[in-house]
Amino acid sequence: MNTTNGMVDFHCHLDLYPDHQAAVLEADEAGVYTLAVTTTPKAWVRNHKLAKKTHHVRAAIGLHPQLVAERSGEISLWETHLAETRYVGEVGLDAGPRFYKSFDLQKQIFERVLRCCAVAGGKIISVHSVRAAKVVLDHIEAYLPPSRGKVVLHWFTGTKTEAKRAIDMGCYFSINAAMLNNARHASMVTAIPFDRLLTETDGPFTRTADRPSKPADVALVIEALGELKSLPTTTILERVRKNLHNLLS
């Protein structure tokens, strides 16, 4: 029996592994429901082509905030392909020191993304919010009515107050092992209702046993969440799967 069957990796960059096609096939064979996010619209076509051949992998179309400075011109290409998928990501804002100089442009792009998603309706959006939780939530509140799309906050590291605001707005949260290894972030995770939690790896940007994490490694996130919430891993797995079902329904 496949021990990872039915697990969820709601944020993974499968196209950034050395062998993209092999990474997609491995996730599918592991039975892990994987959202393959993209960092640029130009990466969409190949991701979509590979994912649509699988049962467990879905591709999302994104324009990563860290790449906005050099790739903002691709937003029109992003808009062209938006109708081809229900999933959007990775998008959002990054106010970290390396990317702050493009923050105003990031806000313009993120507003455009949210407005397009609101018009289209039914999109599920994986959102980056490094050092920008308040502004991200302000944008979602302003440009994406709750009835027009759903937001999953990826690797959210805001405050408990910001998490509470996001919960009140209907957001979900995708949690990875690195978050649970950080005392402050783990404390924030405890404040999130169980019915808003999803799991992720953010591979290959995280590592497991000295190699880039892959979707099957989400099993470690399930274990860590079980320890955090004092619940058996089977309960965590069932709940996360149910949360995914609710998100998609």
Q: Give the distance, in angstroms, between the CA of residue 237 and the centroid of all CA atoms in the same chain.
A: 18
Return the structure tokens found at 61. 């179309």
- Look at residue 226 and tell me whether its pLDDT is greater than 70: yes
Return the structure tokens found at 222. 């399930």
Q: What is the pTM of this model?
A: 0.97
Report the percentage of the chain scoring pLDDT > 90: 99
Q: Convert the pLDDT of each residue in 156-177 to its tens digit.
A: 999 999 999 999 999 999 999 9
DSSP 8-45: EEEEE-GGGSSSHHHHHHHHHHTT-EEEE--SSGGGHH
Shortest CA distance to 106 belongs to which of 123, 126, 134, 129? 129
8 Å CB contact between 89 and 60? yes
pLDDT at 184: 92
User: What are the sequence ranges of the domains in the chain?
Assistant: 8-248
pLDDT at 2: 76
The position carrying tokens 């455009």 is 112
- Look at residue 106 and tell me whether its pLDDT is greater than 60: yes
234 burial (CB, 10 Å; 0-12 / 13-18 / 19+) is exposed
Domain 8-248 CATH (choose: 1.10.1370.10, 3.20.20.140, 3.50.50.60, 3.90.1150.10)? 3.20.20.140
Q: Which regions of the chain does DSSP assign to beta strands (E)?
A: 8-12, 33-36, 57-59, 87-94, 123-130, 149-154, 172-175, 197-199, 207-208, 211-212
Q: Convert the pLDDT of each residue in 179-188 to its tens digit.
A: 999 999 999 9
8 Å CB contact between 112 and 92? no
